[in-house]
Chain A
Amino acid sequence: MIVFKDISKIYNIGDETVYALDHVDLTIKEGEFVGIIGPSGSGKSTLMHIMGCLDIATEGEYDLDGQSIDVYTDNELAAIRNKKIGFIFQSFNLLNKLTIEENVELPLIYQGVHAAKRRTRVAEALAQVGMSHRRKHTPNSISGGQQQRAAIARAIVTRPALILADEPTGNLDSKTGEEIMALFQELNIAGHTIVLITHDASVAAQAKRILMLKDGKIAEVRDDN
């Protein structure tokens, strides 16, 4: 599903050349639950942005579902994000003016899904994350854990094959974090490919495969598959 071939992301800061990703080779198959661990500044977020088609590599080739994304235009990449990838951010990134239901509905609106079908899919997604009872609330009026559940519902409502989660438990207490991780396990069992980026080893430990990033280079730590 995901193939990184000699991917590098280079930033030029003044006269200095910084490798955020340094010749990374990586393959993630469909249905995997991969945890990517690494200290701050190791290149985790850069990796996720490239994987999520939010950024492009300076060098190397990225194939998603057998096709190189280098050939896609900005709008085509947006369409790929909308259909194939669900994002979950550390800070949830919900829109505060919208209710939870409306937040979850947004990706479907822009996909052009019919209103009746939208309502069904939103209800299903919210039920899957246990947030049906909070659907009329705004993000400001619910807890962090509930906000992250809502963000997960928004990520899965379009039924993407790939879910990219960037420090999904970073802003949550340990108990809520565990609940969210349990939810990821359920989603993986349901068939979603999950790539989880974290600096917390205990969170990464719940993934079936763990990769370590350090100074832009990647190394395999564990593979239970």
Chain B
Amino acid sequence: MYIITNALKNLGRNKGRNFLIGIILLVIIVATAIAIIINSTASSIIDDYKGRFGSEVSLNLDYDKAINEGNFVDSGENGKGVEEITPKQYFEFGDSKYIKEAQYNASSMINFKDLKPVDDVDDPDLMVRGYLIGSNAKNISDDFKKEARKIIDGAMYRQENECIVSQQFAELNKLKPGDEIEIILGKDRVHKLKISGIFEDNTMVSGGDAAQFMEKNPMLNRNNEILTGLDTIKKLGAENVTAAFSLKNPDDLKAFTAQLQKKGLPSYYKVATDEAGYKAVVGPVENMKKVTTTFMIVVLILGAIILLLISTLAIRERKYEIGVLRAMGMKKGKVGIGFVTEMIALTFACLIIGLSVSAFASQPIADSLLKNQIQIAEEAPTGNTVSHLDFGASAGAPASDDAKPLSELSVHLDFDAAIQIILIAIMLAIVSSIMGIVYITRYEPMKILSERN
């Protein structure tokens, strides 16, 4: 205890030197603490998004591989065509232990029996006048969430063979909830569906003036979409399916790919995550993390060198003190403990100040860095890493074109970051004390004193 007390008193006795070392320690601690705080938050965000984007899987045709394996994308010529993934296969693919969630958009072209579609044309040969759409996908419910479509009468379909129809379609045919409609699938397969609700469709409004000049076609009018549950369309037979699979664990991608291939997925289909979307959203944060990590490493290396130099210069002054203390019979260990205690106390004071400063400064610095990285990302030419060719049926994670980069990062000092900063501070204290320890252990007291004398 007396050695520690004396060491603490020594801090005040050598104000100038300790102030200089303290300033350097403070700068290093503040710089590294800010970098660690930003990195820690960035890491958890990156992990979170990696989980999200890494778990959403798309099946894309690898054009080059398909050609190399002797397949012709245009199947009309000699040779075999590219095998398309059938709706049945999609549903089989979704039945996997690796899958957390499978979202399907299934559709079939339909005609109506004794019902008029919106924008109908007088063409007896026209076999398709609308679509039956069955989905469990989020984008369908998103139309309703965003109020592009909303139920204005009745309720959403709940049971098999229930459906909802558009307001225009219902008014045209004088339909109301509870009524039954008959749809024709294929050439002559008639199927009855019960109307559970009527929705208002605003998705066509965005067509604007251009829509007025388009030729009338019931197939192009979304008011002729009959929406039903996935089970209903599965039973009736979907012609077209898109699927988005979410893996339980992004690391299962390889195993899931093997399983799909075992289930009949041709080898020229690439099972991929939405890397482009991930890059678009998290890229600036990742770059910011790289910048702060590099900055931290540079500061630590330079700081440690400067500390070593200053402590080497300072120890020349203290060398005499070491000589006197050792001549008076102080053990090397005790003199060493005194020196280390001084540095730890100084470092601890700097750590307290440094943590407080960095806790306040890290947010504006993170904002500024992120803004800078977003700007760089926006100015950089973009490129998609996966060639995406859609051949009828396809599966994919949500399109990355709309992905907006993270523009806000709420940084905070968490426990792990605090531990890292404390460990770095301890390391700095050791670096600062190391020259003193070297002198204490290397030189005999008489050598030091006789050099001085």
Interface residues of chain A, those whose CB is within 8 Å of chain B, are: 45, 49, 52, 54-55, 74-75, 78-83, 85, 87, 89-91, 93-95, 97-98, 106-107, 109-110, 112, 115, 154
Q: Which residue of B lies closest to A155 (CB)?
A: B328
23 contacts between A and B (CB under 8 A): A45-B450, A52-B327, A54-B327, A54-B445, A75-B331, A75-B332, A75-B333, A79-B329, A79-B331, A81-B329, A83-B329, A87-B328, A90-B453, A93-B449, A94-B324, A95-B321, A107-B328, A107-B329, A109-B2, A109-B3, A109-B6, A110-B331, A110-B334
Please report the C-alpha to C-alpha distance between residue A114 and residue B326 in the assembled complex, in whole angstroms: 21
Chain A neighbourhood of B326, CB < 8 A: 78
- CB neighbours (8 Å) of A98 from chain B are 13
The residues of B with any CB-CB pair to A shorter than 8 Å are: 2-3, 6, 10, 13-14, 320-321, 323-334, 444-446, 449-450, 452-453
In Å, the complex CA distance between A106 and B328 comes to: 9
Q: List the A side residues contacting B10 at CB < 8 Å.
A: 97
B-side contacts of A110, CB under 8 Å: 2-3, 325, 328-331, 334
Which among A91, A93, A97, A115 is the interface contact of B327 at CB below 8 angstroms? A93
Decide if A54 touches B14 in the complex (CB within 8 Å): no
**Smallest CB-CB separation from B452: which chain A residue?**
A91
Partner of B329, one of A45, A55, A78, A91: A78
Q: A97–B14 contact, CB under 8 A?
A: yes
How many Å from the CB of B450 to the closest CB on chain A?
8
Once bound together, how far apart are the Cα atoms of A107 and B320, in whole Å?
Answer: 16
B452: chain A residues at CB < 8 Å are 91
CB of B2 within 8 A of CB of A95, answer no
A91 touches B453 (CB 8 A): yes
- How far is B328's CA from A83's CA once the two chains are assembled, in angstroms? 9
Report chain A residues within 8 Å CB of B330.
Answer: 78, 82, 110
Which of these, B6, B13, B14, B327, contacts A81 with CB under 8 Å? B327
Q: B328 and A54: CB pair below 8 A?
A: no
Q: Given the complex of chains A and B, what is the CA–CA distance between A110 and B7 in angstroms?
A: 11
A91 to B450, CA, bound (A): 10
Known: A74-B332, A81-B329, A97-B13. A54 touches B2 (CB 8 A): no
Interface centre among A54, A74, A75 (most CB of B within 10 A): A54
| Cα A75 to Cα B329 with chains together (Å) | 8
A55 to chain B, nearest CB (A): 6
Give Cα A161–Cα B118 distance, bound, in whole angstroms: 118
Judged by DSSP, the binding face of B is helix
Q: Which residues of B contact A93 (CB under 8 A)?
A: 320, 323-324, 327, 449
Please name the residue on chain B nearest to A114 by beta carbon: B2
Which 10 pairs between the two chains have the least Cβ-Cβ distance? A82-B329, A81-B329, A97-B13, A54-B446, A110-B330, A75-B331, A78-B331, A107-B328, A78-B329, A93-B324
Q: Which residues of B contact A54 (CB under 8 A)?
A: 327, 444-446
Q: What's the minimum C-beta distance from B236 to chain A, rounded to whole angstroms?
A: 92
CA distance A142 to B323 in the complex (A): 22
Max chain A C-beta neighbours (<10 A), residue from B10, B329, B331, B449:
B329
**Nearest CB on B from A151, distance (A):** 10
In the assembly, what is the distance between CA of A85 and CA of B327, in Å? 10
- Closest chain-B Cβ to A33's Cβ sits at a distance in Å of 22
A-B contact sample (13 more), CB < 8 A, given A55-B446, A107-B329 = A52-B327, A54-B445, A75-B331, A78-B329, A78-B331, A78-B332, A79-B329, A81-B329, A82-B329, A87-B327, A91-B452, A110-B3, A110-B328
CA distance in complex: A25, B333 (Å): 34
CA distance A55 to B327 in the complex (A): 11
Query: Which chain B residues border A90 with CB–CB below 8 Å?
Result: 453
Which residue in chain A gives the minimum CB-CB distance to B441?
A74
A residues within 8 A CB of B13?
Answer: 97-98
- CB-based nearest B residue for A52: B327
How far is the CB of B9 from the nearest CB of chain A, in Å? 8
A1 to B453, CA, bound (A): 29
In the complex, what residues of B have CB within 8 A of residue A154's CB? 328
Asked if A95 and B332 sit within 8 Å, CB to CB, the answer is no
Partner of B449, one of A83, A89, A94, A107: A89
Q: Which residues of B contact A95 (CB under 8 A)?
A: 320-321, 324
Beta-carbon contact of A55 and B444 below 8 Å: yes
Contact B446 A49 (CB under 8 A): yes
Chain B residues, CB < 8 A from A55: 444, 446
Chain A residue at minimum C-beta to C-beta distance from B321: A95
In Å, the complex CA distance between A87 and B445 comes to: 12
Closest Cβ–Cβ distance, residue B147 to chain A (whole Å)? 77
Report B-chain residues with C-beta under 8 Å of the C-beta of A79.
329, 331
Q: Considering the complex, give the chain A residue whose CB is closest to the CB of B12.
A: A97
B449 and chain A: residue at smallest CB distance: A93
Interface contact B328-A81, CB-CB below 8 Å: yes
B12: min CB distance to chain A, Å = 9
Measured in the bound complex, the distance between the Cα atoms of B83 and A222 in whole Å is 119
Question: Which residues of chain B have C-beta atoms less than 8 A from A97's C-beta?
Answer: 10, 13-14
Assembled-state Cα–Cα distance A78/B450 (Å):
18
Would you give the shortest CB distance from A27 to chain B, in whole angstroms? 24
For residue A98, which residue of chain B has the nearest CB?
Answer: B13
A49 and B449 CA atoms in complex are apart in Å by: 12
CB-defined contacts of B446 to chain A, threshold 8 Å? 49, 54-55
C-alpha gap A82/B332 in the complex (Å)? 13
The answer to whether B329 touches A112 (Cβ under 8 A) is: no
Shortest distance between the CB of A56 and any CB in chain B (Å): 10
User: Shortest distance in angstroms between B225's beta carbon and chain A's nearest beta carbon?
Assistant: 88
Given the complex of chains A and B, what is the CA–CA distance between A81 and B444 in angstroms? 14
Which B residues lie within 8 Å of A75 (CB)?
Answer: 331-333
Q: How far is the CA of A139 from the CA of B440 in the complex (A)?
A: 24
Query: Which residues of the other chain, B, contact A80 by a CB distance below 8 angstroms?
Result: 329
B321, B323, B330, B333: residue with the most chain A Cβ atoms closer than 10 Å? B330
How distant is the Cα of A80 from the Cα of B13 in the complex, in angstroms?
A: 29
Q: Which residues of A contact B449 (CB under 8 A)?
A: 89, 93
